[in-house]
């Protein structure tokens, strides 16, 4: 992972990464520790977190771990004590799962988010950045997606992320906390969970091709996504937490590459990289899915100096190599 996403000395700064035992949070925590942060505290209830991700972090003396749930306001207060910067990644993902379990999603993604905001304010945290989602764009058909133009939500998951953005705006206005949100577009990379009913598409494809177990493509596979390597999500979180640009706060940013590929393209690339002719099985399109996705990333470039460091193909090769080692 590159270490050129910041210029500040981190040795006097304390960070909290919620969901830091998970995929994106784990990469953010690792970057901060690797680059000399005084303290990186992770809060995770281990529902979507992995001990293997914590093992990566344990080698650093500045690492601290709290096992706890953001649905508990006291836990959030305790986790924010003495913290300068918060990167809030803890959430339930997955559109189909949210359609099955809307109440659970609301408790974690909305209730937990408000608990974290209040805890950050009470502990006088300098900057609070949080994960939103490209699902917020909903049925807005225009490409590329521009932050100011969103449609109707297509799932409870999308509604929770849109609600986060509304709360963030209100908390910034009412309490004066410095914050910003990041609409992630299909983040992928090493250490992403390949198991479970709601696993992400890239680890699922790689695992299925390698094991020659059925791989499913929803719909015709011609739907497009702005697949974004995890280093780019790390970069925006670091830039957001450390920025001195006052104009950058109270906004949400697209986090993507600004290019799109079809799911079929993705599958073919996986086949090529794995030297396999194993074919996918096509099935019905999935409820709540957006057809096409492509981000305009000029806002993040202009206000945060964001510049994607790894494009889709390079990131995919790195990810496939990681899973190859895992499964071989």
What positions carry a catalytic annotation?
157
Distance, CA of 297 to CA of 259 (rounded, Å): 10
The two three-digit tokens of residue 112, written as one number = 């937990």
Residue 111 DSSP SS3: helix
C-alpha to C-alpha distances, 172 to 142, 178, 180, 181, 200, nearest whole angstrom = 29, 6, 9, 12, 33
For residue 134, CA distances in Å to 75, 228, 308 come to: 29, 12, 17
Listed in order, strand segments (DSSP E) in the chain are 14-18, 39-44, 63-67, 85-88, 127-133, 178-184, 187-188, 216-218, 224-225, 228-229, 251-255, 261-262, 281-283
Residues with Cβ < 8 Å from 51, sequence gap 6 or more?
Answer: 21
Q: Are 233 and 255 in contact (CB under 8 A)?
A: yes
- How far CA 236 is from CA of 85, 106, 209, 255, in Å, comes to 14, 26, 32, 7
How many residues comprise the chain?
Answer: 328
* Lookup: tokens for 216: 């499913």
């Amino acid at each position: 992972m590159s270490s050129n996403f910041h210029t500040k000395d981190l040795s006097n700064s304390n960070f909290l990464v919620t969901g830091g035992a998970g995929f994106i949070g784990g990469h953010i925590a690792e970057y901060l520790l690797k680059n000399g942060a005084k303290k990186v505290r992770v809060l995770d209830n281990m529902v979507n977190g992995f001990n293997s991700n914590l093992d990566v972090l344990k080698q650093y003396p500045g690492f601290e771990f709290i096992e706890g749930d953001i649905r508990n306001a006291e836990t959030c207060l305790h986790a924010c004590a003495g913290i300068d910067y918060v990167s809030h990644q803890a959430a339930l993902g997955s559109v189909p799962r949210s359609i099955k379990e809307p109440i659970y999603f609301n408790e974690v993604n909305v209730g937990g988010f408000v608990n974290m905001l209040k805890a950050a304010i009470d502990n006088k945290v300098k900057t609070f950045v949080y994960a939103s989602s490209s699902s917020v764009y909903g049925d807005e058909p225009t490409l590329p997606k521009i932050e100011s133009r969103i449609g109707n939500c297509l799932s409870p998951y999308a509604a929770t992320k849109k609600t986060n953005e509304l709360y963030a705006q209100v908390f910034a206005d009412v309490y004066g906390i410095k914050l910003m949100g990041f609409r992630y577009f299909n983040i992928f990379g090493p250490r992403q969970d390949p198991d479970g009913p709601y696993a992400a598409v890239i680890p699922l494809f790689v695992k299925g091709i390698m094991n020659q177990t059925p791989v499913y493509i929803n719909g015709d596979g011609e739907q497009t996504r702005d697949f974004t390597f995890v280093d780019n999500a790390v970069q925006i979180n670091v830039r957001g937490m450390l920025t001195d640009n006052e104009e950058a706060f109270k906004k949400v940013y697209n986090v993507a590459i600004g290019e799109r590929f079809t799911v079929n393209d993705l599958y073919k690339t996986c086949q090529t990289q794995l030297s396999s002719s194993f074919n996918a099985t096509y099935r019905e399109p999935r409820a709540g899915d957006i057809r096409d996705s492509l981000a305009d990333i000029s806002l993040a470039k202009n206000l945060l100096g964001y510049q994607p460091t790894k494009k889709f193909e390079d990131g995919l090769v790195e990810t496939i190599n990681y899973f190859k080692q895992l499964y071989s």
